[in-house]
Structures are given as C-alpha cells and as structure tokens.
A and B are shown apart, each in its own frame.
Chain A
Amino acid sequence: MATKAILEIRNLHVAVDGKEILKGVDLTVNAGEVHALMGRNGSGKSTLSYTLMGHPRYEVTEGEVFYHGQNLLELTTDERSRAGMYLAFQYPVAIPGVSVSNFLRTTVKGRRGGDLPVKEFRKELKQLMANLSIKDEFLSRYVNDGFSGGEKKKLEILQMALLKPELALLDETDSGLDIDALRTVAEGINTLKTADRAILLITHYQRMLDYVTPNFVHVMQGGRIVKSGDSDLARELEAHGYDQIAPELAGSAL
C-alpha cells in the first residue's frame, strides 16, 4: 500500500516582523509516522509550528504547504483545526474567567458538531483525566490561569486526546515536566499513534524520545532542516551535541 502524505512542506520561507526565520524547510510526514524535530533555541522549530497553525504574525514569503493534498496556507487557523490539525503550545495562554470544563465542552462540541451528550462526554473526559492523573477540581479552574508548567502541558495533552487530531504538532511538550509527568504525557501521546495519524514532536532534548519512539529525526539549524535520520540520530545528538552533528552551521543560529 502506498504511503499517504498528511503533511508536505516545500521550500518554506517564513518571516516575522520582516525578519526571515525559516529559510527553505522541506518535510513530508506520512500517516502512521512520528517525526521528531530537534534543534537549539532560535533554530526555527517553534516558528514552523506556529506557521503551520496559521499564527497571523508569521508571514509565509515563499514555498508551499499541503495538508492531505490541500493548500494549507489558504485555510484560517480554525479551519486547520477543524480539518484535523492540532498544536500543543509551548506556552499555552491563560483565558481568565473561562473554566476548563466549559472550554473543553465548547471546543469539543465545535469539532464534533451537533449536540454533545453531557453524560457520555463526562465519562470520556473522566477516563482521559484519570489516564493523565488529572484531578477533578482542574475542571472548574480557569484555563491555564495560575497553572504550573506541568499542569499546562497536561491540559494540552488532554485536549489533544479529546480532539483526536490527524496531525499533532507538539511544541516542547516535554519542557517543564518532571519525570513522572513526562511519562504520563508520553503515554498520552502514544495512545494517539495510529496508522491514520501522524505526530510531529518538537524538542531539544532526547529524553522525550525515550518514551515516544520517532520514525524519523530531523535537526533544524538556522531556519532549515540540516540533517535527517532515524531514532539513532537523536541519541547521537544527545551524546555529541549539535556542534558535531551539524558542524557546517555550528553556532550560526544563536
């Protein structure tokens, strides 16, 4: 059976406030695959994730992106979400006054359409919360308001589990997590690994990849993918550092 491309990025150039950050990214992600995108701070990883989700500050100056063969760049952020894309934010924003419970119900209702039977939804939610070791009182708190780093990341994973995206972009979901939380979050990600979905993990540490095994690892440097390989590449990076793996661009990104 031919592999099915979910995401195809071709020669993507992106500028923020007139400054070019991405300088020609090429990447294809097929159904059933987990890709890890690694690189230093400032290498362009988060820019890529925000661009894919359509953040208005990120201006595509060149290149193309296809999602299921459709021109992604023509879609608004909410259309991308409804088409099955999901971004777990590195820094999720607080929405004071909006409870987690209401927020989840509103977004899930919007995605699944029609009426959301409260009873079934509650049951599903409770199960997912138990899996992620999230306490009930979480639901009546305001979204991300006064949350610890770990709580924010768990809420991102909880939403992902409810929305069941076909393409999940996880931006530094491992940062700020202790080892127990990391394991819990990784389990949450693993349950999403199915033959018809794909995951793009953005991280600068190997440790997440001990729990979520990627099919492909890409190293980003200076706004480009400079090296790709299998999961061994992540281990090499951990052992030898970015300078040795991508020597031609060492230091230039910072």
Chain B
Amino acid sequence: MGETIARETVEELASRLGEPAWLVDCRLAARELYLQKPNPTERDEDWRQTDIGALDLTGMRILSLSSPVVTTEAPANLPVRIQTGLKHFNKLSGLLVQSTASGGHLVFDEDLAKKGVIFCDIFTAVKNHADKVRPALTPADGLAEEGKFTLLTRALFNCGLFLYIPKGVHIELPFFYGIELDSTEAVPAALLPYLVVVAEENSSASLVYTPGAKISITDGIRPSNLIAQYADLHIGANSKLRFLEVHDYSDNMFMIGTSNCHVSRDARYETLALAMGGRQVKSDLSTQLDAPGATSDVYGVVLGAGHEKYSFNTIQGHAAPDTTSNITFRVALTDHSSSVYQGIVRVDKIAQRTNAYQSNKNLLLDGNARADSIPKLEILADDVKCSHGATVGPVDREQIFYLRSRGLTEQQAEELVVLGFFRQVVEQFSLEAAQSWLSDLVAAKIHGEVSQADFFEDFDQ
C-alpha cells in the first residue's frame, strides 16, 4: 500500500480544474482524514484475502482527462470495450465516455434537458449545477466514518458523473457512462471516478456504468493501474432507480470501489454488478433503507479466471420499519482465481417488520480456485424476517456428462452450465440488456470469442 498524498497534488488538480473554494476545502478535508486512517492490510476483516498489499500508490500518476465534447451521435472512435457494451442497447437517454486515449464525449437527449434532467461529467456539474451536486460532495454528517479509499476518491477524483432526475420525471431508456484507463506506461496510473445520482421523488431512471481497461500488456511492463471509485446514489420517495455496473479489467488492474445508495419511502433500488476481470476487484455495495416501504434488490455475478481476486462486501442496512432487501450473489471461478463475499445484514432497533434475504452461491470450475462466503447478521429489532444461505461447490460432473453426451465439448458444457448458473440471477434484473451483455462477456472470457449472445432469447416463451 502506498504512501501519502501531497497537499500540492490536491491543490494542483483543483486549480487545473478551476474548482470553487468549497470543493477545494472538501478535497483537502478528505485528504486530511485519508492520511489519518491506517492503510488497510490483508489482516483487516474487510480486506481479508485481498491483494491490497501489492498496490503501491507511491508515485502513482493521477491522470487528467479532457472535458467531454458534446455531440449528437456517439463518436466512432470509442474504446472497443465500450463499443462492445453499447451494442446491447438500441437507444439511450444519454452517453458519457471518459477515456484516457480517446478523450471525453457526451451525447444527451435535448428533450430531457428541457425537462430539467441533468446528465454531465462531475466537473461540469460543479460549474453549472453547484446547488444540486454540492450536498452530495459535502455531506452534512462529515466524512469521519468513510473508508480510506472513499476518502482517496473524494480528495483526488479526476473524473465522474452527475445524473439528476427531477421530481415527477420518468425515463425509460438508460443512461450510459463508460470509463477507460488504457495507460501502458511503466509508472502506474489512477482514475478516481466520483458518481453522484439523485432521483427526486416520483421519478424513475436507469444508469449503466462500465469502468474498465483492456490494455494489452507488452514487454513485461505491468503497471499496477488503479480505478478507485465512489458512487453516491439517492432515491427520493416513491421513485425507482436501476443501476448496472459492469467491471471488466485486464489483469494488471486494481479496482477499489464503494457505492452507497439511500432509498426513501416506498422507493426501490435495483442493481446488478457484473465483475469479469481484474487483478483485484474490491467493491463495497451498501444500501440504506431510510424510510418505510423502501426496497433494495442487489444482484451480483462474478466470473474469475487466472489469478484474479474478487472481494465483494454487501451491506443491507435497514434504518426504518417495513423495509425489504434482497441480495443474490453468484460467483464462478476457474484456474487459481479467488473470491471472498461478505454479506452484512444490519437491522436497526427501529426497523421492525424488516424482510431481509441474502444468498451467495459459488461454483468452482477448478480445484485450485477458492471461494469464501461470510454472512454477518447485526439485528437489533425483534420482529424481523431474515434468511441467508451460502454454498461453495464444484460443477456437477453429471451435468457435464449429460451435455457432452449431446456433443458439446467439455468447455462448451462448462460454459453452458456457468451461463445457466448466472442466468438465474440476471433474469431477475429488469434491465434486459444486461443478459446479452453478460452472455458475451462470459463467452469472451471462457473461450475468447462471442458465441452465446443469444443465450437469453427463448423463442416462443
């Protein structure tokens, strides 16, 4: 783990971006707290079995990205990984891409802008919509409780998104935000995205977010690049937000992220995280059900290979009575890959009649792969329905034999079993594009080509 962030680094970044004093102060306050917090190690419960010790922040370059160019059509020179993702969506409400190679691009439906919807990079939001974005960037209850890496992102964020849905506005087509870090220089580089999403009451929207890097590593240069992200989501009363995260990194990359979603009265949060690669992916997904009737559905799908490591921590926070949370997480691992899943269910004393469900299943495709599943229940209310279950096991060889007896090779048979294993999660997520995208990613990862893109299309249902 790395060393200190110089005050000058923060000040230079802020001055280059021409930021107002309140934001500079906020960055500096986050830096102060960051320096006070101890570096996480594999001995910390939250970081067990991670590769955090191998991440060196000393000398890491905080990249600067150019401001997005506004166009009416998606440009042709987008990173291939993002183009591949985009082909699963016929139409979008907006597209923002921030890439270290091809620059920034923004496409946004003008009719939505007229309705008061805001969709832009975080720095444009600071300039033009400070009243709306400032409350998220400067939380009233301070930063003391925040994790080391959230503070790092708050101090040094160099890209990010602001999505604002006004009261009463319902948007069917998703917004898409892609980030690409494709630096191959020997000195490690970092992108620190900060996402703020605010859905006011009686609104609905969907956001797709795919940070990543698919660099080809040559000449043995393997910079330990970092994406450290913080996503802050607020769903107003009676509103609905869908959030799809697709993480797909080459094996030199560290991704450390936290997302925190506050769900108000009778509101619903539905999210799916797909993780398909990276040296170390460490993600904390927290949902806070703040008022009666709030519901969260959190889905996760992880496919590990090589020596990749995954660490997902979920927190189902029930802070009000009559709230419901569901978490379904499935992990399939080949080669020497490993995963740790920690699922916390936290029910406050006031949160009577809570319904909380948590399921984590792990499929091991190789004897060298390793998965751990750790549920943690912190329940202070007494009228609560809570269930949790976890399994870790190898692929059923009888399934493989059955499929091979129909002519599929062992690899094809395993791919089909894995897709089926994942499908049971993904088909619960209501943004259907996730299904074909997942099929592509699984096929690409298992045998390097796209063959199962139509896996989810059942004709004549």
Contact = CB atoms under 8 A, between A and B. Distances in A.
Interface string A90-105: 0011111111011100
Interface stretch (B110-118, B251-259, B407-415): B407-415
A93 B402 contact: yes
B398 A97 contact: no
Nearest to A78: B404
Interface stretch (B186-194, B319-327, B421-429): B421-429
B8 interface: no
Interface stretch (A33-41, A133-141, A176-184, A188-196): A133-141
Contact of A92 (B402, B452, B454): B402
B408 A98 contact: no
B407 A111 contact: yes
A115 B174 CA distance: 32
B402 A89 contact: yes
Majority-rule SS of B interface residues:
helix
B416 interface: yes
Interface string A48-87: 0000011110000000000000000000111011100011
A150 B406 CA distance: 20
Contacts of B62: none
B219 interface: no
Contact of A142 (B401, B420, B457, B460): B420
A77 B459 CA distance: 29
A122 interface: yes
Q: Is the interface on chain B under 10, 10 to 19, 20 to 34, or 35 or more residues?
A: 20 to 34
Contact of A159 (B406, B416, B419, B452): B406
Contacts of B410: 76, 78
B426 to A, nearest CB: 9
A169 to B, nearest CB: 10
B460 A136 contact: yes
Given A78-B410, A81-B407, A93-B396, A139 B459 contact: yes
Contacts of B461: 137, 139-140
Contacts of A76: 404, 410
Contacts of B408: 78, 106-107, 110
B44 interface: no
Contact of B422 (A77, A97, A142): A97
Contacts of A93: 396, 398-399, 402
A1 interface: no
A201 interface: no
Question: In the complex, which of the residues A54, A92, A93 has the most CB atoms of chain B within 10 Å of its own CB atom?
Answer: A93
A95 B399 contact: yes
A137 B404 CA distance: 25
Contacts of A87: 405
A118 interface: yes
A234 B404 CA distance: 33
Contacts of A111: 406-407
20 contacts: A53-B405, A56-B397, A76-B410, A77-B404, A78-B407, A81-B405, A92-B402, A93-B396, A94-B399, A95-B399, A95-B403, A95-B416, A95-B417, A101-B459, A102-B457, A107-B407, A122-B459, A136-B460, A142-B420, A163-B406
